[in-house]
Each structure stands twice: as C-alpha cells, then as structure tokens.
Chain A
C-alpha cells in the first residue's frame, strides 16, 4: 500500500518523458532563433581546426548554418528542412544533398546532431529514472529512434532535474549496441538574455582523445526570420 502511494506521488511530481525532452529541446535554443557558433575539432597530435558560423533556426523543421571563418570556407552552408539536409559548396556554387548520419564540417558531430531540431520528433523517449551525474541530479531517459534515417539507433540521455531541464549528457549507440560517441554540456552561462548551456563537447568513442567543441558566441531568441532562407533555392544563391 505504501509503495503504491509513493508511486502515485512520484507520478504526480515527475514530468513525463515527453515533457522532459521537449523542455530540454528548448533549453539551449528557442523556437525562432539566430546564433553565432564556434566549432573546434580536436585531434590528438594535431592542431585544432576552428570554424565559425552563423546559424538560423525556426520551429522544429527549419535550420541553416553558414560558415563565416576561415575565409577559404566562408559561405559553406548546411540547410535542414524537415528530413532533408543540403550542403552548399561555394567554390563550385553547388548545392548537394547530404545525409543525417554524415559528419558535420569534419568534426565529431553528425549533420543530425547539429540539426537535431527536435529530439522528440526523431526518438521515442522513456524515463528510466533519476541519477546523479557529476554531482548533479538528473532524469535519465532512453531514446529509441523512430526510423533508420536518424543518426543513432539509441540514445541514453541525462537532463538536469533541478527545474532548468538543461541537457547534461547524451551517449549515442549504434543498432548493434556499440557506443559511438557521447555529448557533454560543459558550460552554462548567461547568453542572449538568459542562462543556458553554451558549450557542448562531443567525444568520439572510436578515437581516443578525439573531440569536437561547439561554443555558442551569441544567441538571439524570438528572432524574426524569413522562411525564404530555408529553401535549396536560396541556398544555391549563397543567401
């Protein structure tokens, strides 16, 4: 009897898996947002590769990033619209399709990670329980891919349970159960008018010491963005 009561109390206090993932989705970037990002690709024994880019995101389906530095890669751009991703190559003035599983900009993030506009769209979440990770209380969730086009088959996902719903860590697995890489949120700071995760690190399980850092340099929430920039036609014209 007492355990049933405790279960009911917990059910009432604990948000659903869907709610946690939705809140975590919005914790970093809002619904209509522009941002500036620095990506550092770290490889053992080699110098870091640093790329800066501007990004635009609208709703769960539309995303665009355009390189601003270094000069030789300037205007290289990735566009995501629904399940489709395109890459613009300025040297040849060409737009080509790319897959969600292909890596983004030579780093450890996949196109699907960068344009993972909504986890809830790509995965079915299950709340496994609560855990303490690095001294921080978290919800632990298991995310199962809804279809094969998604970058990973399974994701173990930790989200802070202190009311902020900041993502803390995600472990990514293949269909065979092999851990491919893991994502950590390594910095939370005020940016764009509120506190939020600003530094994400993706570490590669297949290469010791290989990792890629994504640092948000500026974020503007509630930005007015013209839908036209999210079309292959606009991408083709370097916009």
Chain B
C-alpha cells in the first residue's frame, strides 16, 4: 500500500469520533529485530552486503474503530534499518475498511490479513498472502491488498470470495529477496457437517497454477485437529515442471490443559527438493556465483550470472513454502504467575535435512495494557540444511506494546 494511502486512512481513523454505538482500540509499540548474519552458499562473500549484526528498529501503531456495522483498521510501522544501507521505510501491515449488511453479507476492502487456511505454520491453500517468515512463524504477518466478500446463507455454510494483489517474498528479514507480485482470485466454500468444519478452496491468477484445496477441522476427544491440503499442476519454485502435479498437506493438533498448550503440525511439500535435487540446486548456486566472479567472462555474462545467483539464493524466501519435502512444527506454551508471564518454545524441523529453527519466547505483561515480548531464533543442523543455508546465524526479536 502506498504511503500516502496509509496516511490518509490513518488520518480518517484519527478524526473519527468514538460514539456510544462504536468502539475504538489504539495500540502503540516498539519492535526491534536484531539478526546475526553469516556468509553461506546463499550469501557468498557477503554479496548481500550485510553487517555482522543487522538491526531493524520499528515504531508500530495499531488502530481499530468500529461504528455500527462498519469497521476501519490500520496496523503499520515505520522502520529504520542499520548498517551501510540504512534507510527508513513506512509499511502498512493492514489498512482496510469493512461493512456488513445484515447477518449474511460482509465486504472488506484494503490491505488485510486473510487467515486463509487452518494450518498453524504452513497454509498450502494460501496463495493470497506472503509466506510466513521461515525463521519465526509466530511473527505478525503483513496482509495483501484485497477485496473480500463473505456470504453466510446459513450458520452451517458460507462462501468467501477474494481478489488479492500480494507479494511472494517472506517479510521481516534483514535483506531483500528477489520476489514477485501476483494477482490472485480465490473462493472458499465452508460447511459445518457433523461437528466438523469443512472447506473447499479454488484459487488462480497470473503467474501461478490453478490450485484446488480442502480444509478440515474438528475436536477429537479434547484435542483440536486440522488438515489443509492443496494440489496444482506446475511448480512454484524452480526448476519449472509444468506438466507435473504436486500435492501439499499440513496436518496437526492443538492440545491444552490449564494454562499449558501444545501444538504440533506436519507439513508435506510435494514440490520440495529431494536430496539429489538439493545437490543440483546447490551446484547451480555455486556455478552461478563462479561465473559471476569469473574475470575471464565478459561483464555482461558476469552480470547475468549474478542475477541468476540472486534468483537462486532467494528461492527459500520467495513464493514456495520451503525447499524440502518434509517438515515438523512443534510448540509448547505456558502462562504463569497471575498470567503475567508466558513462556513458549517453538521449533521447525526440516525432516528431510535435519535443519532446525528453534524459537524460544517470553511474554511479560506487568500491567493489564502493557506487554513485552522477547523471541530468540536459533538455527541449527547440518551446514547444507535449509535453515543453515539462510544467511543468518540467529536473531532476537523484542516487542513492546501499550494499549490505550
């Protein structure tokens, strides 16, 4: 969303008076995302120009105004990055207007989160929003510029229609990735059948194969289970495989007792690389970089090789849901002492290569309207595993929020 549009929406929100029929929520915060960077096959000779320590400092604002059947929402931040390439950027995570006509029809327009799919860490049916940050899937996501129509003909059935313009690159990283933008149309038909949530999904658009998917969620003896699956023809990540049909599935559970909760999710990424394909991918990276730095080649060939290297190096962060085929996400969280402290341990394991992204977290709420969150990101595993290939060694992500 352009900065001017965000500012206009924010100004409109600020000027709207809160009446007895409406409500308003305002939240301000500071976020600091510190990254320890590394030279890896995705960042040969530090071609990304990263400092050893990269920092993203943000001031964030969240504003929600409800007035009868209308709602206006703005969530955004201004960010100052560190290092030689330091710059200030403005970003609207969400900025939308919503209106409902009676109980059955609702329209939402603007940059918005769509929460498309039941998966916790992976949403195979979601082509509408950027993929989650692979290093920390719990970070607040950016939305997509979209128009969404919800039709609820009955309590047991509903249809959601979305037209969205979104990016394919993961956010909250200290380096830019070679990602593209895409326009997507999607339909989700939801049904409640025998105490089970079912949904059928179809989506398609430019620069993407048509996707068919389903979603299922239910309670099973005190455990919440879900499964989200998709199929499409033609790969999302290189190499192009236009004739091949791929399947993706994320399936998991949520169990809670008292103030403790445990979440687990398995993800099968049908178009992920096998061990042989991974070696070929790493070989392509090496070959592209060798050509880019080969003084015997003409400058134009070097530049072309460098661009190719940039595209290859961005693959884990642009468009796909991971390089490999099998993943496991697990999380444990517990609230303690007057509910002021919450400790959490989250982890994503690449079952295909043994890589691990471990994310311990702590939330402290000393007052009812004040929250401090601290997450660490630790990347472990073999040096050629997906999470160790990332040009990062670890991260600390701190967030302070105050509600007014």
Q: Does B182 contact A (CB under 8 A)?
A: no
Q: Does A189 contact B (CB under 8 A)?
A: no
CA distance A103 to B222 in the complex (A): 9
How many A-B contacts are there with CB distance less than 8 Å?
111
Q: Does B257 contact A (CB under 8 A)?
A: yes
CA distance A32 to B336 in the complex (A): 35
The B interface is mostly helix, strand or loop, or mixed, namely strand
CA distance A171 to B316 in the complex (A): 56
Q: A49-B335, A97-B217, A97-B219 are in contact. Are A69 and B257 (CB under 8 A)?
A: no
| B259 engages A70 (CB within 8 Å) | no
Q: A81-B155, A101-B222 are in contact. Are A228 and B103 (CB under 8 A)?
A: yes
CA distance A82 to B340 in the complex (A): 34
Q: Does A106 contact B (CB under 8 A)?
A: yes
| B259 engages A71 (CB within 8 Å) | no
Measured CB to CB, the closest approach of chain B to A90, in angstroms, equals: 10
Measured CB to CB, the closest approach of chain A to B394, in angstroms, equals: 22
The A interface is mostly helix, strand or loop, or mixed, namely mixed
Q: Does B106 contact A (CB under 8 A)?
A: yes
| B195 engages A84 (CB within 8 Å) | yes
A239 — which chain B residues lie within 8 A by C-beta? Answer: 71
Q: Does A128 contact B (CB under 8 A)?
A: no
Neighbour of A233 across the interface among B138, B152, B256, B335, CB < 8 A: B152
B365 — which chain A residues lie within 8 A by C-beta? Answer: 70-72
Neighbour of B337 across the interface among A47, A81, A101, CB < 8 A: A47
B259 — which chain A residues lie within 8 A by C-beta? Answer: 41, 49, 106
CA distance A231 to B369 in the complex (A): 28
Neighbour of A84 across the interface among B69, B150, B192, CB < 8 A: B192
Q: Which 3 A-B pairs have the closest CB atoms?
A: A106-B259, A99-B219, A227-B103
User: Can you report 23 residue pairs joining A to B where beta carbons are below 8 Å apart?
Assistant: A48-B338, A49-B259, A51-B339, A69-B368, A69-B369, A70-B371, A72-B339, A83-B195, A84-B195, A87-B224, A91-B138, A94-B115, A96-B226, A97-B197, A97-B219, A98-B256, A102-B257, A103-B258, A106-B339, A228-B103, A231-B152, A231-B155, A237-B108
A residues sitting closer than 8 Å to B (CB atoms) are 41, 46-51, 69-74, 81-85, 87, 91-99, 101-103, 106, 226-228, 230-233, 236-237, 239
